């Protein structure tokens, strides 16, 4: 496996920071460093999406 260059690492950090400042479409809170799912340019917490799916299945 190829090691990441400092530049690539920097890009990844910037991408993470951008995601962290994005709001979850379900709970409206910041994504932060929580596990998340990207769907069509929209960001969701994994837990929020799971919760929503469970609610949908319950009804
Ligand atoms: Zn959320």
For 2-29, how does the pLDDT look when each residue is reduced to its tens digit (9 = 90+)?
A: 788 999 999 999 999 999 999 999 999 9
Helix (H, G, I), strand (E, B) or coil at 48: helix
- Verdict on whether the full-model pTM lies above 0.85: no
Taking the centre of ligand 1 as the mean of its atom positions, its distance from the CA of residue 35, in whole angstroms, is 10
| In the block, residue with structure tokens 């990844």 | 12
List of residues 6+ apart from 52 with CB closer than 8 A? 26
Q: List 38's β-bridge partners, or say none.
A: 43
Domain residue limits, the chain: 23-59
Q: Is the pLDDT of residue 39 over 80?
A: yes
Whole-number Å distance, alpha carbon 31 to ligand 1 midpoint, is 7
Q: Which residue has the higher pLDDT, 30 or 53?
A: 30
pLDDT at residue 59 in the model: 56
Average pLDDT over residues 32-58: 88
Give 18 Cα–ligand 1 centroid separation in angstroms: 16
CA of 12 to the centre of ligand 1 (A): 22
Cα distance between residue 8 and residue 29, in whole Å = 28
**Would you say 36 and 46 are in contact if contact means Cβ atoms under 8 Å apart?**
yes
Q: How far is the CA of 9 from the centre of ligand 1 (A)?
A: 27
Which structure tokens are listed for 47?
């837990």
């Amino acid at each position: 496996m190829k090691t990441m260059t400092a530049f690539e690492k920097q890009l990844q950090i910037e991408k993470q920071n951008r995601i962290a400042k994005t709001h979850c479409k379900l709970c409206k809170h910041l994504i932060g460093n929580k596990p998340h799912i990207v769907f069509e340019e929209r960001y969701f917490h994994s837990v929020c999406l799971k919760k929503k799916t469970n609610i949908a299945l319950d009804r």
